[in-house]
Structure 1
Amino acid sequence: MAMSAQTAMAIKSYQNQAEVLVKNYLIAEPYIPYTSVLGGLLACKVVHDLTQLISTFYFKTYNSLTKIQRLEWNNRGISTIHAIYITAMSLYFVFWSDLFSDKQFAGFITFRSSSFSTFGLGELKGIAYLVWRQQSISVGYFFADLGMISWLYPSLGGIEYVVHHSLSGIAVAYSMFSGEGQLYTYMVLISEVTTPEINMRWYLDTAGMKRSFAYLINGVTIFFAWLIARILLFVYMFYHVYLHYDQVIQMHVMGYLLVFAVPSVLAMMNLIWFWKIIKGLKKTLAKRQ
């Protein structure tokens, strides 16, 4: 009984210490970005290992892939989960949360942020860093993917991917640490909704299912998702910037330039990729007739 009482007291002591740690550090305002990075690291590690484990036992194609292909297979598993996470977060903040609503009168929307919105952006950093380390929940995701692309260039992507990830990583990092322009950062990040479909297309192609009906449906899905999330949504974002230009111009010069430069470059790249998607879809449909 004495031993049990001592054990209970020890457990209670550890619980109290853990509560102090969480309150004073993990959820304290100055440490939120770093806490979210650690969370992203853990999430990334778990997803990577699960992707590798499940693929080894349930996908015969996986074991026949080259080392680089298996690396990309696992990386796309992480990027798919990341895309689902950040898309959900972005849709919430842009369309459902009151944080960036015009009905709120808590200052300019360009300077609004919260612990939750900052945490969401920080998760990307943690996810990305571990993706980069795995060469053996977005600042980090883009920088990590950029690291892999650069390390294995041009196996995982050409110069357009380097430009895309560099601009995205810089914009998300600035928004996370400065608290400026988080609304527009989340608007752009909604475009990640197209990532799972793109990854699925790669999986189907790698598995030798390029002529399957699933591959055709995937192509059609990419077309509509891209049109909505990477074309029309960008038009909406630029219109929103136009309506709130008096607030945008109050941002620091760095933030002001990022609001215009990054979406503009990404929008042009999206249009180029969209044209390629249209040509690819037309070619696929022509073969099936």
Structure 2
Amino acid sequence: MKKIFATLLALTMVMAMLAGCGSNNAAGDANADNSNNTQTQEPVETTLSGSVSTNGSTSMEKVIGVLSEQFMTDNSSVTVTYDATGSGTGIEAAKNGTCDIGLSSRALKDEEVAGGLVGTTVALDGIAVIVNADSKVADLTVEQIAQIFTGAVTDWSEVGGDASAISCVGREAGSGTRDGFESITGTKDACVLAQELTSTGAVIEAVKGNANAIGYASLSSVEGQDGIKALTVGGVACTEDTVLDGSYAIQRPFVLVTKDGAALSEQAQAFFDFATSTAANDLIKAAGAVPVAK
């Protein structure tokens, strides 16, 4: 009996020792797991925040609008603002640092580049020559357009329309659209305008309201508009394809303006990189302009 009792006691002690070892091993394994988890934990990603200010061309409104909307959707802590002041003001704002990125609907001039500015083309835009929807005129050459805007041709009957005095509508001095139009047609400082307006939208409305009017506006602003029609120029319609292949004569670039050697803020640089990447191409097309990123 004593032998049986001793045997049972010994077995009990061995089992207790084994249980203790198992507990210690489990604790050790758990500690090892926790240690491994701590070592492999990935760092928390930082997100962009703050604001990006853009200033300039009224013709770039749709393009900047869609790019800003998508960028803010992707970066919810960033606000992109747009001040539609005209190309000249936007270029000056980029120069004096009152905005992050200036917007110009014309290429920078030599003196502006020499003054420390950099222009990056984000898209191309056709400048559509527009008349009232009821006009009989459908096509003009660049030469005829120049003659009309300089006053050499003053009656629609001279270019295939009904006999009536032509009313020329244009943009204000400093407008990128005006600069592009006058540079291409050779009418710089020679246009005779019945109305000189401060926005693309105002030009479109003026032509809608006057059966004898002719004006010019960005392709992206003209598409889908009632009450006006875009003329073909030398037989070529103003479309994305003809602007991109260069067959449409009256076109200009949409330009992001920055200061040479001056670093943008992190959020402004991210917006700039997005706007000039292929990721923005479909958005630019949807806004009626022609993307250039490849």
Q: TM-score, normalization: structure 1? A: 0.24
Q: TM-score, normalization: structure 2? A: 0.24
Rg larger in structure: 2
Query: Which structure shows the bigger proportion of residues in strand conformation?
Result: 2
Kindly indicate whether structure 1 or structure 2 has the higher relative contact order, using CA contacts under 8 Å at least 6 residues apart.
Answer: 2
